[in-house]
Amino acid sequence: MRRVRMTVQYDGTAYHGWQEQRRPEGGAVGAGVRTVQGTLLEALATILGCRVRIEGAGRTDAGVHALGQVAAFDLEREMPLARLEAALNSRLPPDIAVADLAEAPPTFRPSADAVSKHYRYRLWADRAKPVLEARYVWHWWRPIALGPMEEAARHLAGRRDFASFQSRGGEREDTVRTLLRLEVAARGREIHFDVEGDAFLYRMVRNLVGTLVEVGCGHRPPEWVAAAVEARDRCAAGPCAPPQGLCLMAVRY
């Protein structure tokens, strides 16, 4: 029995997330819902002739992308990993790729063992509509200033109680997390929010971005963000940014 670690990349547009997060009202779990995990499972099952259990590092939401998702499964067969990787990539649809397969210690747990996760959020800050980037950015056509967002970000970085940034549907009671990095930077017509943390609450990155954008567009002063953290109340922070701007860049161990 070998434990295999897999780096997965996907365009999340067509998927209900990595794994279904909440069952539809009255519907059966996973009924007719396409997920990245489910698509990988099917491809693996066809190649291996048996079903395996795949664990992922981060449960990305519907419409969220990944360039560095990490997952793991147990492999009973002697198959060389390079051959399995090629077989997977030729069987997976064009919007999912396995970037790497490697042997891992038998106890490897992609989520529990992670030291940090790095997400990038892309805001298209230009009046002109994005076209080739439309699936990967949040289009913000009104004026937006970098300086106030950088100032506000300093109220968010570090070890804090992020209760104000957990959306309904997340039921974590311990809401203290550490943001190792929260950088706001202009990249051509885009603004990138690079967020790295030890762990994240439900929709936390998108709620952080939505809150910073409230400051960047002048609706709120940078200090308001400190008060929003203090309140420990979702209603005190800004709205949730749309999913398509978000990408899981890397998981560190």
* Residue 109 vs 129, nearer CB to a second copy: 129
The full length of the chain comes to: 253
Q: What is the DSSP letter of 52?
A: -
Residue 198 binds to a second copy (criterion: CB under 8 A): no
CA distance 92 to 94: 7
Show the tokens assigned to 179.
């943001």
Residue 31 binds to a second copy (criterion: CB under 8 A): no
Residue 81 binds to a second copy (criterion: CB under 8 A): no
Residue 190 binds to a second copy (criterion: CB under 8 A): no
CA distance 168 to 142: 28
Find the angle CA(198)-CA(201)-CA(204) to the nearest 5 degrees: 100
- Write down the residue that tokens 């779990």 correspond to: 29
Show the tokens assigned to 46.
């066809």
Catalytic residue list contains 61: yes
In the shown chain, the binding pattern of residues 40 to 79 toward a second copy, with x for contact by CB under 8 A and - for none, equals -------------------------x-x------------
Which of 132, 168, 171, 188 is close enough to bind a second copy by CB under 8 A? 132
The residues assigned a catalytic role are 61
Residues that bind a second copy (CB under 8 A): 9-11, 65, 67, 89, 92, 94-97, 99, 128-132, 134, 136, 247
